């Protein structure tokens, strides 16, 4: 059904559509993306509100340019969200007493509560539309990679169940379920989560609820269709169940209520536990990034010699080729951003095979890419010169580099939140009247989601403190519309500092930063020393893993500034 057909058949005043399925906040297939189908917008975050006369697409600053380019302004208005404007506040302004329809499978209990509290005079109408996920193979994530057996993880959840005097815990976040049960799947092209819910009783028995899952022989789980959740609750005489309002669809809450089950709302404890990587996972991340560094260095050397006449899509494919050659490679961790010249100002631009720009001489190339390895997940951005960069481009790059170094080299007190750290990075650019419309960093999973909470480094992020063992990105940028874009991104893990009561960042990403892009006169002595030390570590770590010609390239790329 098209946007126009939906409007013509609407009985409500407004219909709210989210970019998700019944696994809230997780990646989805393009075929499941209703917003993409109706608007053409391919960004990874957005909310669509359809009224009888028009449609409104709500996006954050990352997608401001992209949303305008991909949508028809005659049918769709792009609304940029900020501290004051969001879908709920907009509905409160325009449909305070209206009828608002939603799909209870695609809205969390938390969001629906917020909607009802903000619009007490409106009538919220559930229009249920459950779409089963397509077939996927499920396999075990081996102990040599995950580090902690499933029984140990479940024991912590059972302790919580008993503490809250409940009969069962319901885990709806697919990445939490995958982590808890030490399983992964082929359901999505770049994120190896198992798309299932988990029911865990107080004896520690786990039942997965998912559709069209095929388990390998080494995965011995009871798995029932999601449609049978009500039968499970009734047959096991469940009276009280623990669930997280933020990750549980309202449809599931309604099933519980109709089954006579009391829901005890609390945080999904798996989210916090999996954010702190155990020593096996940290070691796996280190090794995965060494192999990834080899792949990216091979790619960057190839790019310097071969970019002329190549399209952005070909560049992205070549970056993927070098990663596929590495041991323990499973998939990319997201669709590669390979953006040349003005396209790099579109923060999450992704080239299309039949419609991507040919790389021009003396332009900038932004490559944001990563991979899923069985022992870790990577995510790196490098902005490199295709030829000779302009003076302004070197200046802006050097300022972004200063912001990057300011944070990555910063020690900080224990219990410091990502919001406070964001300001350290961003303030370097603020002094020059510059800023960027995305977060400074995000958490990263271990052979899981490349974007993982609860930690977040952003001006509008949460106050959750960083803790030792967490993996985060550091990625400041600068974007000049219709001209160029710059971003530098490394992954790091949080560790104890040499100063008592303080933490610091330990490097994971090991890839040179393009020296041709740097105006060294804009860097101070400490920044130059950090860069030289980092490049020395890159060279020492990767030099034995490259051939003679690649080693010559690396030696030059890591030469002291």
Residues 43 and 181 in one domain: no
Q: At what angle do helices 525-542 and 548-557 cross, to 10 degrees?
A: 170
What DSSP character marks residue 53? Answer: S
Helices (H), 508-547: 525-542
The answer to whether residue 216 is domain-embedded is yes
Q: Among 196-210, 338-352, 433-447, 449-463, where is mean pLDDT lowest?
A: 449-463
Per-residue b/e over 416-427, b at no fewer than 16 CB within 10 Å?
A: bbbbebbebbbe
Domain endpoint, select from 274, 295, 318: 274
Residue from 288, 245, 18, 270 nearest 150 by CA: 270
Residue from 392, 464, 381, 461 nearest 426 by CA: 461
Q: What is the mean pLDDT of residues 495-505?
A: 96
- Decide: residue 75, CB within 10 A, 0-12 exposed, 13-18 middle, 19+ buried: middle
What DSSP character marks residue 465? Answer: B
Residue from 476, 488, 482 nearest 518 by CA: 488
Residues 322 and 458 in one domain: yes
Residues 228 and 192 in one domain: yes
Q: What band does 5 get if pLDDT is binned at 50, 70 and 90? A: confident
d(CA 43, CA 50): 18
pLDDT for res 2: 86
Mean of all residue pLDDT scores within the chain? 95
Q: Say how many domains are in the chain.
A: 3
pLDDT for res 82: 84
pLDDT for res 48: 96
d(CA 535, CA 552): 14
d(CA 271, CA 457): 17
The CATH number that applies at residue 248 is 3.40.350.10
pLDDT for res 230: 94
Domain endpoint, select from 97, 126, 155: 126
User: pLDDT tens, 250-291?
Assistant: 999 999 999 999 999 989 999 999 999 999 999 999 999 999
The answer to whether residue 21 is domain-embedded is yes
Tokens (6 digits) for 199: 């029911």
d(CA 207, CA 169): 11
d(CA 523, CA 513): 14
Q: What is the mean pLDDT of residues 482-490?
A: 97
Residues 292 and 239 in one domain: no
Residues whose CB is less than 8 angstroms from the CB of residue 540 and which lie 6 or more positions away in sequence, other chains included:
none
Q: What band does 4 get if pLDDT is binned at 50, 70 and 90? A: confident
Residues 227 and 98 in one domain: no
Range of the domain at 169: 136-274
Per-residue b/e over 496-509, b at no fewer than 16 CB within 10 Å?
A: ebeeeeebbbebbb
Beta bridge partners, 488, equal none
Residues 305 and 391 in one domain: yes
The answer to whether residue 258 is domain-embedded is yes
Length of the chain: 561
Residues 345 and 441 in one domain: yes
Residues 421 and 533 in one domain: yes
Element (H, E) at 208: strand 206-209
Q: What is the mean pLDDT of residues 440-449?
A: 97
Strand, helix or coil at 201? strand
Domain endpoint, select from 205, 240, 274: 274
Q: Identify each DSSP E strand in 424-533 by its residue range.
A: 441-443, 452-457, 471-474, 477-480, 484-487, 490-496, 502-507
Q: In degrees to the nearest 10, what's the CA dihedral of 27, 327, 470, 149?
A: 90
The answer to whether residue 131 is domain-embedded is no
User: pLDDT tens, 125-165?
Assistant: 999 999 989 999 999 999 999 999 999 999 999 999 999 99
User: pLDDT tens, 54-103?
Assistant: 999 999 888 989 999 999 999 999 999 987 899 999 999 999 889 999 99
Q: What is the mean pLDDT of residues 204-211?
A: 96
Q: Is the backbone peptide bond immediately before 543 cis, with ω within 30 degrees of 0?
A: no
Beta bridge partners, 140, equal 183
Residues 255 and 155 in one domain: yes
Q: What band does 511 get if pLDDT is binned at 50, 70 and 90? A: very high
- Residue by residue, DSSP assigns 324-385 as HTSTTEEEESS--EEEEGGGGGSTT---BTTB-PBPPTTEEEEEEE-EEETTEE--EEEEEE
The answer to whether residue 17 is domain-embedded is yes
| CA dihedral for 141, 145, 149, 153, sign (positive or negative) | negative
Residues 360 and 506 in one domain: yes
Other beta carbons within 10 Å of 537: 13
Other beta carbons within 10 Å of 559: 12
Res 462 pLDDT > 80: no
Residues 447 and 395 in one domain: yes
Residues 225 and 258 in one domain: yes
């Amino acid at each position: 059904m098209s946007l126009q057909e939906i409007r013509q058949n609407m009985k409500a005043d407004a219909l709210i559509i989210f970019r998700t399925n019944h696994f809230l906040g997780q990646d989805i297939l393009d075929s499941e993306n209703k917003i993409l189908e109706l608007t053409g917008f391919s960004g990874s975050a957005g909310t669509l509100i359809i009224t009888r006369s028009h449609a409104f697409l709500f996006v954050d600053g990352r997608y401001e340019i992209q949303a305008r380019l991909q949508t028809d302004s005659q049918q769709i208005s792009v609304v940029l969200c900020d501290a004051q404007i969001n879908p709920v506040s907009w509905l409160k302004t325009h449909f305070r007493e209206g009828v608002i329809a939603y799909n209870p499978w695609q809205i969390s209990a938390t969001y629906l509560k917020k909607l009802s509290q903000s619009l007490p005079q409106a009538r919220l109408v559930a229009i249920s539309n459950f779409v089963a996920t397509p077939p996927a193979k499920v396999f075990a994530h081996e102990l040599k990679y995950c580090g902690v057996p499933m029984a140990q993880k479940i024991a912590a959840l059972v302790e919580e169940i008993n503490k809250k005097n409940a009969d069962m815990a319901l885990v709806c976040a697919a990445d939490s379920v995958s982590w808890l049960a030490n399983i992964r799947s082929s359901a999505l092209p770049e994120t190896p989560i198992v798309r299932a819910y988990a029911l865990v009783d107080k004896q520690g028995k786990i039942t997965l609820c998912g559709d069209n899952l095929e388990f390998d022989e080494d995965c011995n789980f009871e798995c029932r269709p999601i449609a049978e959740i009500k039968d499970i609750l009734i047959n096991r005489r469940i009276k009280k169940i623990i669930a997280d309002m933020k990750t549980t669809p309202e449809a599931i809450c309604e099933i519980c209520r109709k089954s006579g089950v009391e829901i005890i709302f609390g945080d999904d404890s798996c989210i916090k536990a999996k954010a702190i990587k155990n020593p096996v996972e940290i070691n796996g991340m280190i090794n995965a990034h060494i192999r990834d560094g080899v792949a990216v260095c091979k790619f960057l050397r190839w790019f310097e010699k071969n970019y002329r006449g190549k399209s952005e899509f070909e560049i992205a494919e070549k970056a993927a080729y070098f990663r596929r050659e590495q041991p323990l490679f499973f998939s990319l961790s997201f669709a590669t951003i390979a953006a040349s010249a003005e396209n790099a100002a579109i923060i999450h631009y992704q080239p299309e095979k039949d419609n991507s720009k040919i790389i021009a001489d003396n332009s900038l190339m932004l490559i944001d890419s990563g991979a899923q390895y069985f022992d870790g997940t990577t995510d790196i951005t490098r902005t490199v010169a295709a030829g000779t960069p302009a003076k302004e481009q070197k200046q802006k790059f050097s300022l972004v580099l200063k912001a990057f170094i300011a944070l990555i080299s910063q020690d900080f007190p224990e219990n410091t939140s990502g919001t406070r750290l964001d300001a350290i990075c961003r303030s370097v650019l603020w002094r020059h009247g510059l800023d960027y419309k995305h977060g400074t960093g995000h958490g990263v999973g271990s052979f899981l989601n490349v974007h993982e909470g609860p930690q977040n480094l952003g001006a509008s992020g949460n106050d959750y403190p960083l803790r030792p063992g967490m993996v985060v990105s550091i990625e400041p940028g600068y974007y000049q519309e219709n001209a160029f874009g710059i971003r530098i991104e490394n992954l790091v893990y949080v560790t104890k500092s040499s100063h008592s009561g303080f933490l610091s960042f330990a490097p994971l990403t090991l890839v040179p930063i393009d020296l041709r892009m740097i105006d060294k006169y804009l860097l101070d002595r400490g920044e130059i020393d950090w860069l030289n030390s980092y490049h020395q570590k890159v060279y020492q770590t990767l030099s034995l893993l490259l051939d003679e010609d690649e080693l010559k390239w690396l030696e030059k790329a890591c030469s002291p500034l």
